[in-house]
């Protein structure tokens, strides 16, 4: 019966199934009996269990989610040149570029690129080119919206010719002319439209002039179409991948990115809002500079777009080079800054900071339930976190009594609402610890597993990591009466050479393509079939690498059985539902691979993807065989 059921499933879907599903006809591990009491609820499942955690790491925003395609658009110089910008001298043109620290378009950007052209004409133009973030992604028949700030000297060096050029052929793919440049800083906008081209990232942007003279430039920007057509918005393919994860929340802005290496390098939210020209940019602790184009309001709009709750982390007076601010009056300005931030997020347009948000384009306040005070403060060797947390807690609760305030490590002086636990592990460590929260005090603080991942595979997790992740998720689901939220980290990685600072990241991409790792698909499966209640269940037998969780969608009377077979052998599981009246067929979703090292890559994005099939003969005892190395969701309706 066991084999018959599985063979039928296999035959029905043959042709699209990975081989691993079809070769698993025999259960070699000790057979398991899983008993599910569908109508005996044990605990609630947190509706916010699965969400996203992000920060500026691995070119997650710049060169990633944030759709800007001009790199170093604000012309940050290094010692001798401007990274990602190259001088262009076509034909007989003669010119030089330099960093001018005496003039810029704003207080935030008080410097600029100075282009001195000594010789140029229409057929010998001079200017600069930008190489993008490992290229510039261009699609056919697409409009790209651009802008720059510029001024010229008295010699009428303009107009500025702007073009997108294919790297290999040198062919101009799209071009336009921006005229009317004056002696004062001003923003100019333009559009570039491609025709019938092959989609490719092997392109660059060129800005040239045809007359001698001097031109100053800053904030050169170019955007492709964005998700929900947002101005200054996000990459469509990545947003769609995130949406498929059914995320309930977004934890931002970090991570170490919140703290910075040094206190002046912390995430200062006030410097990330308003027009881009008023954002000074800042160094991230992940060894590159952040444009802050994806600033506080953009984080909130990202939440809005994907219907996620913001989980806002506020800087709490600790930066990673063991720098801290003493609790008490020294910390007061930082607490006030957090209160201002909360008002910016949640205040009406009649409040001071709510009015600033309205001016920035979003009059409606955002709804906020959770605030996190700092990040990983267990690293602060000064022992100041107890005092810092308490000071933030009291000030925030006084103004926002319903906000849940997350501590980044247990504090002794008081009981936090929620504590954030982080786990970066090997798969075997997760296998051995899936019962971690089974005995946690239900009267203590709630738990936020704010960062966790199986770190096996680079740049993205392999199937062995996905098995570790899925096993760990079964434990989190079973305990989601106390685990209110959980988020894999890091979420994103640019897979180009030099793009990654932290290995094993959920979603990989280059300038034009993206893919989900096996762990990504495991997340999609667990979040899509979440349920809202945990019914009573027990398992007997089964190998040590069999893990499961059972939840129920009470509204639709639907059971979700998640099974993880981390063994190299198939696993037989007899599932019984005493007293339950079940539909005779259900849905089976399978993620499976031949071995732990199998994975997806930017060139082979679909080696391992979930496969749906029909579960038959469900009523009574379901005789089921899991393939070796597999993660499965069984979705079964109660009648
Ligand atoms: O996720 C990468 C880093 O790991 C985060 O920035 C930090 O919070 C943790 O140590």
The answer to whether the CB of 251 falls within 8 A of the CB of 54 is yes
Q: Where are the beta strands (DSSP E) in 408-532?
A: 418-425, 446-454, 483-488, 492-494, 507-509, 514-516
Closest CA to 491 of 459, 462, 464: 459
Q: Which ligand 1 atom is the nearest neighbour of the CA of 285?
A: 6
CA dihedral 206, 207, 211, 214 (to 10 degrees): -130
Predicted local distance difference test score (pLDDT) of residue 26: 45
Q: Which residue has the tokens 């599985």?
A: 6
How far apart are the CA of 376 and the centre of ligand 1, in A?
8
CA dihedral 62, 66, 67, 68 (to 10 degrees): -40
Length of the chain: 639
Residues 6+ apart with CB under 8 A from 282: 260, 265, 267, 268, 271, 289, 290, 292
**What's the average model confidence in pLDDT over 246-270?**
98
270 pLDDT higher than 50: yes
Write the pLDDT tens digit of every residue in 445-470: 999 999 999 999 999 999 999 999 99
Write the pLDDT tens digit of every residue in 376-416: 999 999 999 999 999 999 999 999 999 999 999 999 999 99
Tokens of 319: 């930066």
The helix, strand and coil proportions of the chain, stated in percent and rounded to the nearest 5, come to 20, 35, 45
Write the pLDDT tens digit of every residue in 594-622: 999 999 999 999 999 999 999 998 978 99
Predicted local distance difference test score (pLDDT) of residue 6: 27
Predicted local distance difference test score (pLDDT) of residue 185: 98
Report helix angle 463-478 to 518-528, nearest 10.
20
With b for 16 or more beta-carbon neighbours within 10 A and e for fewer, the 494-508 pattern comes to bbbeebbbbebbbbb
Q: Does the CB atom of residue 423 touch ligand 1 within 6 A?
A: no
CA distances to 281, 282, 474, 479 from 81, rounded to whole Å, are 18, 19, 52, 54
CA distances to 190, 286, 342, 433 from 366, rounded to whole Å, are 33, 29, 10, 37
Burial of 360 (0-12, 13-18, 19+ CB in 10 A): middle
Q: Whose CA is nearest to atom 9 of ligand 1?
A: 255
How far apart are the CA of 55 and the centre of ligand 1, in A?
9
More reliable by pLDDT, 109 or 8: 109
Predicted local distance difference test score (pLDDT) of residue 570: 97
Predicted local distance difference test score (pLDDT) of residue 23: 31
Q: Does the CB atom of residue 634 touch ligand 1 within 6 A?
A: no
Residues 6+ apart with CB under 8 A from 89: 95, 124, 126
> What pTM, to 2 d.p., does this model score?
0.94
Least reliable range by pLDDT among 340-344, 505-509, 614-618: 614-618
How far apart are the CA of 255 and the centre of ligand 1, in A?
5
| Cross-strand partners of 515 | 508
Q: Does the CB atom of residue 409 touch ligand 1 within 6 A?
A: no
């Amino acid at each position: 019966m066991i084999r018959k059921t599985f063979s039928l499933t296999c035959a029905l879907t043959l042709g699209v199934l990975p081989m691993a599903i079809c070769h698993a006809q025999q259960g070699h591990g000790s057979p398991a009996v899983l008993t599910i009491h569908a109508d005996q609820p044990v605990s609630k499942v947190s509706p916010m269990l699965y969400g996203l955690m992000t920060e500026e790491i691995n070119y997650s925003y710049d060169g990633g989610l944030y759709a800007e395609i001009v790199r170093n658009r604000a012309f940050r110089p290094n010692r001798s040149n401007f990274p990602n910008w190259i001088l262009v001298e076509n034909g007989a043109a003669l010119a030089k570029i330099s960093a001018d620290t005496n003039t810029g378009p704003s207080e935030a950007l008080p410097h600029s690129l100075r282009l001195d052209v000594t010789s140029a004409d229409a057929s010998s133009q001079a200017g600069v080119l930008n190489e993008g973030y490992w290229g510039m992604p261009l699609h056919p028949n697409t409009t790209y919206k651009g802008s720059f700030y510029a001024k010229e000297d008295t010699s009428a060096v303009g107009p500025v010719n702007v073009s997108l050029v294919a790297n290999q052929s040198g062919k101009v793919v799209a071009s336009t002319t921006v005229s009317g440049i004056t002696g004062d800083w001003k923003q100019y906008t333009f559009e570039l439209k491609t025709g019938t081209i092959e989609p490719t990232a092997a392109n660059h942007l060129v800005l040239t002039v045809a007359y001698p003279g001097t031109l100053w430039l800053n904030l050169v920007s170019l955007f492709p179409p964005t998700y929900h057509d947002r101005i200054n918005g996000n990459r469509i393919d990545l947003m769609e991948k995130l949406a498929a994860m059914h995320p309930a929340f977004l934890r931002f802005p970090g991570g170490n990115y919140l703290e910075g290496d040094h206190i002046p390098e912390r995430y200062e939210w006030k410097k990330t809002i308003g027009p881009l020209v008023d954002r000074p940019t800042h160094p991230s602790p992940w060894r590159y500079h952040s444009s802050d184009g994806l600033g506080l309001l953009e984080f909130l709009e990202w939440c809005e777009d994907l219907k996620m709750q913001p989980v806002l982390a506020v800087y709490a007076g600790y930066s990673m080079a063991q720098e801290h601010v003493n609790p008490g009056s020294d910390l007061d300005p930082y607490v006030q800054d957090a209160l201002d931030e909360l008002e910016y997020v949640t205040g009406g347009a009649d409040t001071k900071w709510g009015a600033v948000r309205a001016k920035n384009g979003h009059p409606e306040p955002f709804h906020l339930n959770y605030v996190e005070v700092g990040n990983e403060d267990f690293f602060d060797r000064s022992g100041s976190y107890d005092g810092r947390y308490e000071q933030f807690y009291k000030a925030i609760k006084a103004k926002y009594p319903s906000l849940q305030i997350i501590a980044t490590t247990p504090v002794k002086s008081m009981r936090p609402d929620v504590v954030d636990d982080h786990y970066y592990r090997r798969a075997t460590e997760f296998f051995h610890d899936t019962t971690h929260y089974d005995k946690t005090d239900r009267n203590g603080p709630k738990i936020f597993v704010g960062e966790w991942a199986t770190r096996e595979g680079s740049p993205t997790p392999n199937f062995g990591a996905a098995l570790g992740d899925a096993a760990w998720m079964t434990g989190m689901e079973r305990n989601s009466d106390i685990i209110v939220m959980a988020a894999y980290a890091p979420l994103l990685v640019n897979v180009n050479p030099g793009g990654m600072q932290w290995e094993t990241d959920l979603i990989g991409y280059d300038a034009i393509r993206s893919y989900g790792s096996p762990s990504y698909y495991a997340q999609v499966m667990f979040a899509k079939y979440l349920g809202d209640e945990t019914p009573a269940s027990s398992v007997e037998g089964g190998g040590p690498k069999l893990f499961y969780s059972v939840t129920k969608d009470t509204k639709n009377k639907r059971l979700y059985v998640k099974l993880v077979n981390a063994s190299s052998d198939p696993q037989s599981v007899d599932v019984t539902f005493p007293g339950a009246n079940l539909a005779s067929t259900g849905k089976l979703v399978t993620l499976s691979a031949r071995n732990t090292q199998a994975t997806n890559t930017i060139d082979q994005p679909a080696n391992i993807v979930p496969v749906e099939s029909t579960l038959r003969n469900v009523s009574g005892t379901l005789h089921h065989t899991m393939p070796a190395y597999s993660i499965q969701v069984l979705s079964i309706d109660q009648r």
